[in-house]
Amino acid sequence: GAYLCPAVECWEAGKKRRALNHALSITVSAENWEILLDYAREKLPEKKVPTRVPAGGG
């Protein structure tokens, strides 16, 4: 399995690092990456969701 971050920028970074290929031990074609990114751009927020509260309580 693989964790999928709920933000478009994570998916775009994952494409560059080929993270999904490594996590699932497969090769995702360029065509399939574009399909995945189109879906992410349509359904997910643009900015990364904060995962922790900054020092000082935010």
DSSP assignment letter at 55: T
Rounded to two decimals, the pTM is 0.68
Question: Which pair of tokens denotes residue 4?
Answer: 């999928």
10-55: pLDDT as tens digits: 999 999 999 999 999 999 999 999 999 999 999 988 776 555 655 6
1-12 pLDDT per residue, tens: 788 888 999 999
